[in-house]
């Protein structure tokens, strides 16, 4: 496991399944790219980085493990586990270990909750509007963020029982799919929140023209473009994940989304001051939607920002004692990502009476009209 000090390699593709989080594959890729970047920027005297690079490339052999142990690991986690020993000792921060059962339970709950959201919108015609379609897009992103962990655990179980050939073609392909699902979860959440923000902006400041601007046809086209782009980007990031530009692109999307939504909020605030009387006449539901977006955005930042910061620290200061100390919270950051998928449906239900009523009907097995 990540925090027990055991590690292994997958010589061909350099990926095997870890039993904690599929997203951890990206973290070691980040660190290997950071090592290559440091080698270009700093002098050759950084022997620690050289040794780490040789270790990750397979030139230095890892201690042998039994097959059951090896089946639960990913070599890429070594980038976290084998940062500069001096920095780790100076940080004096013990690694935080969370039970695997917690990860799996939260993942199951997240998938079920977001599946209920999707079914509620599909079965209830009153909810088939652009706003709820955008919410469905966010629910799909959250569901992917939980589903990849479930699939990973299933594959690990099959592998440990001998149903899968270690490092075979099927395992390598499944590993790529799991990695892609994680990237899709982040990208889908980013773009879904962005279009929800744009939708709320139009609802407040162009209320009379809203239905002519945000039509169902445009909504479907927008969502189709978003998910085609996210799918293509996810595949590209998995294929080219060993390159520094890929890491920079991956981490830059998060702050770019925040800047976009922040600009919308500032513009909305400035317009609200100059059109206070006009806004006061808007339906209360319009302003309530903006508040709901604010809550969703706040939860998203709270749950994903620690992981993004983890990637940045691993890229630019993997041997700094303070960075290493923060990275000891590795599993906690992963847990927050899982929690995001569980929290969002509660926000929908709490803020939307229509969706809450649909949930109640679905859970009581009432038929929709």
- Look up the pTM and report it: 0.71
More confident residue, 90 or 12: 90
Tell which phi-psi region holds residue 83, choosing left (phi > 0), alpha (psi between -120 and 50) or beta.
Answer: beta
More confident residue, 349 or 37: 349
When pLDDT is averaged across residues 194-209 and rounded to a whole number, the result is 86
- What CA–CA distance (Å, rounded) separates 114 from 339? 12
Residue 34 is predicted with a pLDDT of: 47
Residue 361 is predicted with a pLDDT of: 80
- pLDDT tens-digit map of 48-57: 333 433 333 3
CATH placement of domain 100-363: 1.20.1070.10
More confident residue, 332 or 318: 332
> Is residue 5 predicted with pLDDT exceeding 50?
no
> For residue 358, what are the CA distances in angstroms to 111, 128, 364?
18, 12, 10
> Is residue 228 predicted with pLDDT exceeding 90?
yes
> Is residue 97 predicted with pLDDT exceeding 70?
yes
> Is residue 15 predicted with pLDDT exceeding 70?
no
What residue ranges of the chain are covered by domains with CATH 1.20.1070.10? 100-363
Q: Quickly state the pLDDT bin for 343 (edges 50, 70, 90).
A: very high
When pLDDT is averaged across residues 244-268 and rounded to a whole number, the result is 80
When pLDDT is averaged across residues 154-171 and rounded to a whole number, the result is 76
Residue 286 is predicted with a pLDDT of: 59
Residue 48 is predicted with a pLDDT of: 37
- pLDDT tens-digit map of 273-293: 666 555 555 556 656 777 888
- What CA–CA distance (Å, rounded) separates 103 from 305? 19
- What CA–CA distance (Å, rounded) separates 25 from 334? 12
């Amino acid at each position: 496991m990540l925090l027990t000090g055991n590690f292994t390699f997958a010589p061909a593709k350099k990926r095997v399944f870890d039993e904690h989080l599929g997203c951890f594959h990206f973290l070691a890729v980040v660190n290997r790219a950071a090592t290559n970047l440091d080698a270009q920027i700093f002098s050759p005297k950084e022997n620690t980085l050289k040794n780490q690079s040789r270790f990750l490339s397979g030139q230095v052999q890892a201690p042998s493990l039994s097959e059951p142990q090896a089946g639960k690991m990913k070599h890429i986690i070594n980038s976290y586990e084998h940062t500069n020993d001096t920095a780790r000792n100076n940080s004096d921060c013990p690694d935080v270990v969370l039970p695997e059962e917690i990860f799996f339970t939260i993942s199951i709950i997240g998938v079920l909750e977001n599946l209920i959201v999707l079914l509620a919108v599909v079965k209830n015609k009153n909810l088939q509007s652009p706003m709820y379609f955008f919410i469905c897009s966010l629910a799909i992103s959250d569901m992917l963020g939980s589903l990849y962990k479930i699939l990973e655990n299933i594959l690990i179980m099959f592998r440990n029982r001998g149903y899968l050939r270690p490092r075979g073609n099927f395992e390598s392909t499944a590993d790529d799919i799991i990695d892609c699902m994680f990237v899709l979860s982040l990208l889908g959440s980013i773009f879904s929140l962005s279009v929800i923000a744009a939708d709320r902006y139009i609802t407040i400041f162009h209320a009379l023209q809203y239905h002519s601007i945000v039509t169902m046809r445009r909504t479907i086209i927008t969502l189709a473009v978003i998910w085609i782009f996210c799918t293509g980007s996810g595949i590209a990031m998995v294929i080219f994940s060993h390159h520094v530009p890929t890491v920079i692109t991956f981490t830059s999307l998060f702050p770019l989304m925040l800047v976009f939504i922040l600009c919308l909020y500032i513009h909305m605030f400035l317009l609200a001051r100059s059109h206070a009387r006009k806004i006061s006449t808007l339906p209360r539901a319009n302003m309530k939607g903006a508040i709901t977006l604010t809550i969703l955005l706040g939860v998203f930042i709270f749950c994903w920002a620690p992981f993004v910061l983890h990637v940045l620290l691993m890229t630019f200061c993997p041997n700094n004692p303070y960075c290493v100390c923060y990275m000891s919270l590795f599993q906690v950051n992963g847990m927050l990502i899982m929690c995001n998928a569980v929290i969002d449906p509660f926000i929908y239900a709490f803020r939307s009476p229509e969706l809450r009523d649909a949930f109640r009907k679905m859970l009581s097995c009432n038929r929709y009209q």
